[in-house]
Structure 1
Amino acid sequence: IFWGIPKFVQNWIKELSDDELRETLKARAMDIGSRYKGRFAEYDLNNEMIHGNLYADRLGPGITKQMADWVRQGDPDAVLYLNDYDILTGNRLDEYCKHIRSLLDQGVPIGGIGVQGHLHGDTFDPKALCNALDTLAEFKLPIRVTEFNMPGQRSKFYNDRNLKLTEVEEEVKAANLREYYRICFAHPQVEGILMWGFWEGANWIQVSSLYKRDWTPTPAASAYRDLVFSQWWTKWQGQTDTQGRCNLKAFYGQYRVKVGDKEQLVELKKSEGTKTLVIP
């Protein structure tokens, strides 16, 4: 909803008086909340605050609580996330934790913790990732990796649009993606991963794409599909016992259950645990 790093704030916003700025922020927050009520599951309240926050610099630290309250006036059920980068590497993890704790102490209704996943193959440290997730989990809030991409070993040259990864580098990227996703999937506080781009034709860092411009899949695409649509995708076919019962462990999600010519849809939710389905 907001992004307060000064270089990303439009000049006309910077030219407002403090009173005008506060009213402008209020109008935007309430408008976004009411306009998209019931349509957006989650919001990034104020992006990358530990890297710069013009609004707090101008209006004081309490402005974040006001932003949240204004959004909630438009949509009382809005789930408001924080979001920042250089956290999962451990570089600014402590600073982020202090920031989160400060906002919680102020009564900011934080609905979840966002951590960007712009990682480079040569700096991916699985232990640092695990430690960061475990540390953030102490807040007992949902965690989402919000901007995942893993460009590969030479990603420091990501602005070079002509850069192509070698076959070996593509395999390294795939292996790192597989390990990264497994770590996140296994963590009880992680709710999901949002990929920042998957097609080379429309991606900030082209070499991080799963698919080439002509839609040829990279090894990373195969790794992703194997995890999401095979290893973590429950498919089962079998017979009931003599009493017409069967028990099955399945990943959370929506399922179509067919018994003979009868069919029912069922959703397994983390909050529900075991679920019983009866098909007469």
Structure 2
Amino acid sequence: MPEPLIARTPEELRAATSGTVALVPTMGALHAGHLSLMEHVRPLADTVVTSIFLNPTQFAPGEDFDEYPRTFDADVQKCATAGVDVIFAPTVDVMYPAGLDGTVRVDPGPLGRILEGEHRPVMFRGVLTVVAKLFGLVRPDIAIFGEKDYQQLTLIRLMAEELCLGVEVLGGDTVREEDGLAMSSRNAYLAREERALAASIAAALRAGIDAAAGGEAAALDAARAVLTGHGIEPDYLVVTDPDLGEARPGEAARMLVAARVGSTRLLDNVAVRLGGSGTV
């Protein structure tokens, strides 16, 4: 496969795109989960654009912006194998011409202040702002985000709908390692013994699925028991409806968890049906 064209400026980007455009936004450090998103939209578009931009405004002071893996050359090769046409790799000045303290930001609203928003208060404002900028620069017809970051996907869909951005937002299935661990760029932080322990997060969610026929409390108790048995205390472990509201028995729901393994904070989620028959 030929290497994608690398665009650094809006002018280069617009010259490289035509027809139906699909966007796969990333922060780099690409893995099989990212590639699955690229492969999903490849048949749907004339031009597939992958953005690689490590967005500083979604990291609070003391978070892992400086440590976040940067693997641009390897990322280019992975994009080539997935059939990406254009890599948009802007600088901070291109994305934030008024500076990082520029006056206009996207407020994520109430759903951005729960779960991840409670633990990382600046994150979703930064995520939605940079995604809105990417939508404006790339002008995609469709964009795809992984379900592993389910709250993020939900908020981006809401933003696109409520701000009438004209972008169809798709969700891509979570891609997992053989032991169930959800693929994430942050998995690279895990020490060897932590990596084995991290798989218990997915095991906890599977236990929750198995117990979901007994209702929300049974699902949460089963999942929490697995985490506790491995010495993991989650930042949160909840069941919501698919829109992050209150779950209802017998209907589609989502179980979401965030937990630290060592110093690495990991997210995961699965679909469940409370009082039903498990995964939906």
Question: Would you say same fold, with TM above 0.5?
Answer: no
TM-score by length of 1: 0.29
TM-score by length of 2: 0.29
